[in-house]
Structure 1
Amino acid sequence: MTSETAFFRARQVNMVAVTSGMSAGFVALLLAHVLADFVFQTKGMVENKRHPGVFALHIGIVFGLSLVALGGVWPVAGAVALAHLGIDGIKTYGVPARWQATFTAFMLDQLAHLMSLVAAVAIWPEALSTGFWAPWLTLLVGPAVVISGLILTVIAGGYAVGLITAPYARAFKAQGLENAGQMIGRLERAVIFLLIAIGQPAGIGFLIAAKSLLRFEATKEQKASEYVIIGTLTSFGWALGMSTATLALLAMVAG
């Protein structure tokens, strides 16, 4: 083997290692992000985020979870928390309240956060390999992807569907069990996630049919019917998109 061939082969191996490190680092930061934004950020925190103490608490949670996810690599966790502070600060204090509670604002906010995570792993591609999770990365990355995807599908999907259907909810007021609609939506998105994960997407058709039969009596009135259809299709579409993206990310980190 010539020295030139050895050089290019070593360079190729190094690039693969860097790419693998970036992917694992992104997964770790993604898990920290979705936990901070959709699990540990309560409804009360969202409603009172303009209060400096509540805002600071949320950023502290972002830093703490990022620090744990990266295995104690605090410079990267600090940079991610600062980026989160900047993005949330612009949205919370710089965007009119009537625009904050829109699906467009929600998606732009999340896209900005994801781009900040990509930037972090691009600047520090080997950060995760220097933390205390390094010996177990091959075992932890896959479950981290699945957990992140499940949170984005089930919980984040609830926020997204709620924002999309909000204009129609004002025109249609349904009487039912408190928070029952939210629970039904979470369960159906969880089932879709499971069906996609196990390679049985055909089962989604049976889920749609079952929900249609159960909702038949409640949706004879036109407004109710249209509202349920909008909510159902939005929920199913979000779940399919997030489930597919989760499998794609899982295949990427596994490769």
Structure 2
Amino acid sequence: MIETLAALLCAHAMADFVLQTGWMVARKRHLGVMLLHGALVLLTAQAATGQVAALPLLILALLHLLIDCVKTYGRFTGLAAFLADQAAHLAALAAIAFWAPDLWATGLWPALLPEPVATALPHIFAVAAGAILAIRAGAFAIQLLMQGHALSDNPGDDGLPGGGATIGYLERALIFLLVLAGQIAGIGFLVAAKSILRFGTISGDRKATEYVIIGTLFSFGWALLIALATQSLLAALPPLEISAPRP
């Protein structure tokens, strides 16, 4: 079941945050675009599990479309709607994995790939899903959060185009890697470094200071939460057996 969940989670992260473009998001109320997104959900799930005609994957795609339709046509927006939407998708993934736990084991990949590669693939799926959710999904969550704290004179306006977003991507990626590497203490140095580098640009401006603190704390917290959840998923997967090198 855990291998199936890891594969489906990676497929979901790819379909929602990598393959779903800004063009698709802006036009999602059009039925054709919504169906295109549903097709991508189905294709990524099929590719990840190695299943082509599995009924549970079709049901998963339909559930995904139903959840997205409620959010899109109900005009639910904001961070709360985003989090509720993703929670519903995760619940659907868990339900399908519980209902059809052998999707991964009976798929193409365990049969076609060498055993060490097939055993490692769910771990790769878990790390890839965690990275996408921490870095890419985190960017959307922070953007939605900061909409309620917009500044008339945004502290990032004088910087490089897209510089703030790039910094956010990098800091969440570093936090994700530090947690998986077991170097959580390194996050403290990252916080200190960003605080020092930001001090000169916002010193004396209380609104800008609070804006940066809110965004930074949320970004760090999001990445830390996803990284810890990824660790838990990796721990639940069958352990990797790495042969010792011959003398």
Q: TM-score, normalised by structure 1?
A: 0.86
Q: Which of the residues 33, 43, 50 maps onto 2:29?
A: 50
Q: Which residue of 2 aligns with 1:14?
A: none
SS where residue 130 of structure 1 aligns? coil
Structure 1 regions of 5+ residues with no counterpart? 1-21
Q: Which residue of 1 aligns with 2:188?
A: 205
- Distance in 2 (alpha carbons) for counterparts of 1:172 and 1:40: 33
- Distance in 1 (alpha carbons) for counterparts of 2:183 and 2:106: 39
Q: Indicate yes or no: 2:105 matched with 1:157.
A: no
How many residues were matched structurally? 230
- Distance in 1 (alpha carbons) for counterparts of 2:152 and 2:184: 33
Any idea what the Cα deviations from partners look like across 1:159-209, whole Å, max 9, x if unmatched? 111111111125552312221111100100000011111111111111111
Any idea what the Cα deviations from partners look like across 1:126-162, whole Å, max 9, x if unmatched? 1222210123531211111111111111111111111
Q: Which has the higher helix share?
A: 1
Deviates more, 1:184-193 or 1:171-180: 171-180
Q: Which of the residues 184, 187, 200 maps onto 1:217?
A: 200
Any idea what the Cα deviations from partners look like across 1:73-93, whole Å, max 9, x if unmatched? 432221111111111111111
Residue 154 of structure 1 aligns to which amino acid in structure 2? Answer: I
Q: Which residue of 1 aligns with 2:45?
A: 66
Any idea what the Cα deviations from partners look like across 1:36-74, whole Å, max 9, x if unmatched? 000011122111111122111111110111111110243
- Within 5 Å, give how 1:167-206 maps onto structure 2: 167-174=148-155, 175=157, 176-206=159-189
SS where residue 216 of structure 1 aligns? helix
- Distance in 2 (alpha carbons) for counterparts of 1:77 and 1:182: 34
- Distance in 2 (alpha carbons) for counterparts of 1:117 and 1:65: 13
- Distance in 2 (alpha carbons) for counterparts of 1:55 and 1:172: 36
Deviates more, 1:142-151 or 1:167-176: 167-176
- Distance in 2 (alpha carbons) for counterparts of 1:150 and 1:171: 33
- Distance in 1 (alpha carbons) for counterparts of 2:101 and 2:184: 35
Root-mean-square deviation over aligned CA pairs: 1.3
- Distance in 2 (alpha carbons) for counterparts of 1:117 and 1:153: 18
Aligned 8 A contact 1:73 1:128 in 2: no
Structure 2 regions of 5+ residues with no counterpart? 240-247
Residue 57 of structure 1 aligns to which amino acid in structure 2? Answer: L
- Within 5 Å, give how 1:77-96 maps onto structure 2: 77-93=57-73, 95-96=74-75
- Distance in 2 (alpha carbons) for counterparts of 1:127 and 1:242: 25
Aligned 8 A contact 2:51 2:103 in 1: no
Q: Per the alignment, do residues 60 and 83 of structure 1 end up closer, same or farther by CA in structure 2, a change over 3 Å counting?
A: same
Q: Which of the residues 33, 42, 54 maps onto 2:12?
A: 33
Deviates more, 1:126-135 or 1:152-161: 126-135
Q: TM-score, normalised by structure 2?
A: 0.89
Any idea what the Cα deviations from partners look like across 1:208-231, whole Å, max 9, x if unmatched? 111111111111111111100000
Q: Percent identity?
A: 47
Runs of 4 or more off by more than 4 Å in structure 1?
A: none
Q: Which of the residues 103, 109, 113 maps onto 1:133?
A: 109
